[in-house]
Chain A
Amino acid sequence: MSPEAHRKLRAAIVDDEDLARQVLREYLAPHADIEIVAQCANGFEAVKAVAELKPDLVFLDIQMPKLDGFEVLELLDPAPAIIFVTAHDNHAIRAFEVHAVDYLLKPVGADRFEAALARVRERLEGRGELRSSPPPSAADLAAAARPPSQYLDRIPVREGTSVVIIPAAKLDYVEAQDDYVALVSQGKKHLKQQTISSLETALDPSRFLRIHRSYIVNLERVVRLEPYAKDSYVAVLADRVQLPVSRAGYSRLRAFLDR
């Protein structure tokens, strides 16, 4: 046996209702190998606690103040094992799409809870072998699981242990940087681990346009297009920032500006 198997499982409970946390505490009490390292009453606290304490397992409510459960999950990197605990059954498919270990419905029965814990143990033990290829980031999974008719109206970003929320209307442009995207809003850059393509699909296409392999721009910010070299252009934004425009991006942008 590896020494890791003897290590205690560290769990965090995230729910805005005291009584809901209490049930989970009670169910966890007989498990000597599980230690509750954090109890959080809202999304901000949860992101901070998980970043600082790196629990193995998080019990996550969905409807909470500040950030909902999915937004919290997006910001956890690397994502711990997640068990959603909620009264709403309509998020189940989305939950499994973001690789949640289980989805418990309130009121939670003890048997069902034990089954979820068993699944967590299975998942965590198997983890070492599955690491051959890097898993997609939580934000990419969340973007893929988003209902198609709904575009992001705000983007949560983690800065250290705190959370910044960027309303989509205040996002100027997005720049791809390796595995990250830099979200530029009001002159400030915020880094988030997500691919630019998955962010592109989550943003409203009538307001945001991919103008280049590495750039998405908020159309309201574009003041004009200027020729740059033969066959290439730059988009000039309201604050004089210039972004490169690819040939495909140029024709898409033209189509928009002509309308």
Chain B
Amino acid sequence: MKVIRVLALCILVLVAASSVAADFLAPHDYAEQFRQHANEAPSRSFPLGTDDLGRDRLSRLLQGTRISLLCATLAASLATSTAAAVGLIAGYFDGWVDEIAGVLTDLFLSLPWLFALLSLRALLPLDTSTEVSAGATFLLLAAVGWAPSARVIRANVTSLRNSRLIVHARAYGCGRARVLWLHILPNLRPVLLAQFWILVPAFILTEANLGLLGLGINEPMPSWGNMLTELQNYQRIPEEPWILAPALLLVLVVGSLQFVVSGRNIWE
């Protein structure tokens, strides 16, 4: 398993490096349309073939990896941090604090945040750059996506709060902040990491779904989300299996992430 984890880490580093170096590695500009070569199969000029408008799929995949990985990772970090903060406070402090956190969590779980996203997009000027609007969308996703994780973290904290370790720490005179920061938070690491790597693909797929409502990343900028929407036309897959490339890359990245973060079995 250690070998596999190292391999997974190498894959992640490779993917991240390729996305950073996308401008150098990509054989063509991601937006350039080779209209005489639309829907072509992989070839030397176009290693992953071309899309409906003759754009090189590999170039778009490299560029899209940069956008999606960066935005989704940042958004997942933010959401996990918020969930950790809320879960920690709610789980450790009983009474009114826990109740308020519970009410807030339930509200965030059940409200129709889609309309907040629509309003946000409408507030942005029409000439807002793609990067800014993508950033704003992911930021809002992070701002509303913390609630499910917060409940899980709260339950863990509640369980840890009464554990021997914490009781001893408190008995020794540790202040609340110290207990939370030095004793409880490190023990939450596996849970936090698990929440984090679940949220990364979740946000990428949410961006894909939001694209149907014009809330995703706009053309010509590629993203995993807008490339994955091609798969809705599943009848193309047997004839053009290369359109699976973004999905396969996402599976590879998500799988590698989970191995690096939590792929230890008890026998190690």
* A is bound by B: no
Using CB atoms and an 8 Å cutoff, list the residues of chain B in contact with chain A. Answer: none
Residue numbers of A with Cβ under 8 A of B are none
